[in-house]
Structure 1
Amino acid sequence: MKTRFQCIGWLILSYLLVFLVSSNPVYACSTFKLQKGDQLIYAHNLNQGDIGVPGMVFINNRGVFKTGRTWSELTTKDRSNPSSHSWISRYGSVTFNAFGRDLPDGGMNEAGLYIWEMNEDADYPENTGLPKLDQMNWMQYMLDQYSTTEEAILCASEIEVSGWGWHFFVGDAQGNTVAIAFINGKVVVYNNETMPVPGLFNTPYKREMELLKYYKGYGGQYEIDLEDPQVPRYVKTAALMEAYDPSQNVVDYGFHMLEKITVNDVPEWSVIFDVRSADVHFKTRKNPEIKSLSMKQIDFSNLNPVKILNMDAERGGDVSDRFQAYSNETMKEFIRDLVVPILPEDFFTEGGLTIAEYLDRTATHTDRASQAEYQFFKGVWKTSEEIGLTLTLLADQDRVRGTVSNGKDVYDVDHLSMISNNLTFTFRTKGKRLMEARSTILDDGLEMELYTTEEAA
């Protein structure tokens, strides 16, 4: 019988197996949506064989300029296969990260878009004409820019994603879900009628559906025993979703589901995003008291620093006031003291770096966005005489703000977003008219199209 080891990624596994195969553990990740009536949650388990996977909770802000990264760029001596992609974040988000800032395992943004990874074989398409991003950086990019599963599907084909073997579960505030896989060099999508059970684990989604039909209630003869570890998590999840009574507390039931689909050991992480209340709940194997924070109470504006909290923080309850400002040094200490000890040295040094160099690369990789030479958008931009506006964009390190002037009045820019050289934003005139600008930054100026609402037209 072929044993499948499942965890955070094949690259990490290739090292972990050398040390852990003697005890024959199983590594697994699980994500699902639970939605009935007005209730909607997204939930995730990370089972990692009881090795003590550390994690950091990040509060990421909107209006922040970012430059993309590939994993080889971060971990090889010559920074091979670098990314040239850049953007300004449209949305704030809460993410759970093990490898550094803007390198999440998963999370949700303030618009309700959720994404998480699960380990599975992947053959990422190669297209030199597309921007390049590491798979973790790609997830952060998606949370920074998009709000719907339709946009997420498009994003999977607009970026050359690279990294180890993962597939991805994405859900939005309306409860739409999609499983995105990279198979035989193509993007493969399951959604709507091709995703009857909104859950993703460590088996190709098509195979999960094939196995479901052998169980009672879904066309088969086998009982669904929630205590039997041989029953696939996909099958258990389908049964648990059917059994949910909306009168029950959805978060409590979500944690109950996560317990029932646990693989062999207590999960390293269990995380629930309650979309309707915008609350985040999480616990870890090391500190199993449930901790919570409200995304509605977070100020995601770039007037605030990016904030972090160790997932293993002691004491349960509301942790909103326990976050601290992000610093490169704190991130470096976290990786050095908690991540490095659980992985073999070769994981960090196989690209020719020393561990000290690896720590410096991953802890400081976002600094590039604060350097003036990369901030091509910064300055004063004049539109055509027909539009007659002047756009001023300023940057305080990586935090971007802007104003628009018609020569007489000055308006603050809102909903600022940029992908490559395409810039969008809104502003309101003195008469409270909503104006939407769609712009392209060119070498010799700014092209802009201006829109307003039908009521104001």
Structure 2
Amino acid sequence: MCTRVIRSSPGEAVIVGRNMDYHCDTGTNLWVLPRGLDRVDGVGGSLHWTAKYGSLIAGAYDLISVDGVNEAGLAGHILWLTESDYGTYDTSKPALSMAIWLQYFLDNFATVAEAAAWVEKTKVQVVPLADPGTGTVPAVHLALDDATGDSAIIEYVDGEPTVWHDRSYTVMTNSPTYDKQLELLKQFEGFGGTDTLPGTTLASDRFARARYYSARLPKSDGPVAAVAGMLSVIRNAAQPFRIPDPGKPEVSQTIWQTVADLTNKRYVYSSTTNPNTIWVDLDEVDFGGSARKLDLASDTGLEGDLVGNVTDKFVACAPMQFLTLTRK
């Protein structure tokens, strides 16, 4: 479930797109979370911090940060990875709940390099929490990207974080783990192999298509064209609405898509159940003010009122409260 693609070419804006694929609605709303907010790790551990940077995020159930970008141009994206193994939570070590994992990076870092170095140094644990909508415990990995075009993939296998940090890591989907995805890619035409570019919704097939088409985008003549180009790539990797396959009662479909222009600081959001595309211009957001929310969960269907630039449509509210670990 899910696809993330970053494109960075000399003389052009750094653009990152992602599909959010899931088998049910996640009640997604957009939030402006200002700098200066005090936070805790969500597991009753040792990490406490004050947000250095303000951020714009897409939240699930108004409890989990799953996608977003901060005012410095660092963006992050949570995607599913079945093979994830976070190990047994050791209360003596620094840890973050899965709900606030992405938010920690948006709060504290301006670049991928800073974030990757912190993970390598601390070996921070991630503590999974049950999805409040389904009751299942997600298994996820994290992609980070920034306005310089840098990229990192963070995966947990055998209880330890692996950081894939390189500008060439432009695509992330789901299973298998990232090292195996890179090996599978080599079998296809254009990447050293002879197999025809695949067309299914398998994560490895979406990985190949996203890499192939993002590398062949024409030079854009401006920010609008750059966003349109990225949308064309992630739509090619989207999962259509469909009935479940036999033996698989839960089938994922693309429920929303985002494109972040990390150079011009614009965040574009599009729901697959609403024909209207909206965007937020981060340079127009007051990240030193109050927390604010844009209610997307009720703006559904053809009658949706939100369209175009919605930067001034957010409503002041209490900051989002992240899901925390419940101790027995």
- TM-score normalised to structure 1 length: 0.59
Q: Which one has a larger percent helix, Structure 1 or Structure 2?
A: 1
State whether residues 152 and 163 of structure 2, in contact with CA within 8 Å, keep that contact through their aligned partners in structure 1. yes
* Counterpart selection for 2:317 from 302, 320, 326: 326
* Structure 2 unaligned blocks of 5 or more: 129-137, 242-252
State whether residues 95 and 105 of structure 1, in contact with CA within 8 Å, keep that contact through their aligned partners in structure 2. yes
State whether residues 95 and 106 of structure 1, in contact with CA within 8 Å, keep that contact through their aligned partners in structure 2. yes
* Counterpart selection for 1:137 from 86, 100, 106: 100
Q: In 1, distance between residues paired with 2:171 and 2:70?
A: 19
> Taking structure 1 as reference, are residues 222 and 284 closer, same or farther at Cα in structure 2, changes over 3 Å only?
same
Q: Does 1:223 align with 2:185?
A: no
Q: In 1, distance between residues paired with 2:21 and 2:272?
A: 10
Match of 1:267 in 2: 254
* Counterpart selection for 2:47 from 79, 85, 110: 85
Alpha-carbon RMSD: 2.5
State whether residues 142 and 155 of structure 1, in contact with CA within 8 Å, keep that contact through their aligned partners in structure 2. no
Query: Map of 1:71-82 to 2, 5 A cutoff?
Result: 82=44
* Counterpart selection for 2:8 from 26, 32, 35: 35
Q: In 2, distance between residues paired with 1:311 and 1:156?
A: 33
Deviations 1:168-216 (A, max 9, x none): 1011121110111111122112122xx7441111121111111111111
Match of 2:84 in 1: 122
Deviations 1:22-76 (A, max 9, x none): xxxxxx1111101223221111111223x33320111011122222313xxxxxx
* Counterpart selection for 1:162 from 99, 121, 127: 127
Q: How much has 1:260 moved relative to structure 2?
A: 0.2
* Structure 1 unaligned blocks of 5 or more: 1-27, 71-81, 336-347, 354-457
* Counterpart selection for 1:105 from 66, 72, 76: 66
* Counterpart selection for 1:181 from 155, 158, 163: 155
Match of 1:200 in 2: 172
SS of the equivalent of 2:8 reads: strand
Query: Map of 1:296-335 to 2, 5 A cutoff?
Result: 296-301=283-288, 304-312=289-297, 313=299, 314=304, 315-327=306-318
Query: Map of 1:322-361 to 2, 5 A cutoff?
Result: 322-327=313-318
Structure exhibiting the larger radius of gyration computed from Cα positions: 1
Q: In 1, distance between residues paired with 2:6 and 2:193?
A: 24
Quick one: percent identity of the two aligned structures?
Answer: 22
Match of 1:444 in 2: none
SS of the equivalent of 1:216 reads: coil
Q: In 2, distance between residues paired with 1:162 and 1:228?
A: 32
> Taking structure 1 as reference, are residues 228 and 138 closer, same or farther at Cα in structure 2, changes over 3 Å only?
closer
Of structures 1 and 2, the one with the larger relative CO (CA 8 A, separation 6+) is 2
Deviations 1:401-424 (A, max 9, x none): xxxxxxxxxxxxxxxxxxxxxxxx
Q: How much has 1:251 moved relative to structure 2?
A: 0.3
Q: In 2, distance between residues paired with 1:300 and 1:66?
A: 16
* Counterpart selection for 2:115 from 141, 152, 161: 152
Q: In 2, distance between residues paired with 1:235 and 1:352?
A: 42
Q: Does 1:242 align with 2:220?
A: no
SS of the equivalent of 2:215 reads: helix
SS of the equivalent of 1:123 reads: coil
State whether residues 273 and 281 of structure 1, in contact with CA within 8 Å, keep that contact through their aligned partners in structure 2. yes
Q: In 2, distance between residues paired with 1:273 and 1:201?
A: 17
Q: How many residues align?
A: 291
Name the aligned partner's letter for residue 237 of structure 1: A
Match of 1:408 in 2: none
> Taking structure 1 as reference, are residues 259 and 108 closer, same or farther at Cα in structure 2, changes over 3 Å only?
same
Q: In 2, distance between residues paired with 1:189 and 1:106?
A: 19
Q: In 2, distance between residues paired with 1:297 and 1:196?
A: 31
SS of the equivalent of 1:252 reads: helix
State whether residues 58 and 309 of structure 1, in contact with CA within 8 Å, keep that contact through their aligned partners in structure 2. yes
State whether residues 31 and 201 of structure 1, in contact with CA within 8 Å, keep that contact through their aligned partners in structure 2. yes
State whether residues 53 and 107 of structure 2, in contact with CA within 8 Å, keep that contact through their aligned partners in structure 1. yes
State whether residues 52 and 286 of structure 1, in contact with CA within 8 Å, keep that contact through their aligned partners in structure 2. no
Match of 1:418 in 2: none
Name the aligned partner's letter for residue 210 of structure 1: E
Match of 1:283 in 2: 270
> Taking structure 1 as reference, are residues 127 and 40 closer, same or farther at Cα in structure 2, changes over 3 Å only?
same
> Taking structure 1 as reference, are residues 152 and 235 closer, same or farther at Cα in structure 2, changes over 3 Å only?
same
Q: In 1, distance between residues paired with 2:327 and 2:190?
A: 54
SS of the equivalent of 2:106 reads: helix
Q: In 2, distance between residues paired with 1:263 and 1:47?
A: 7
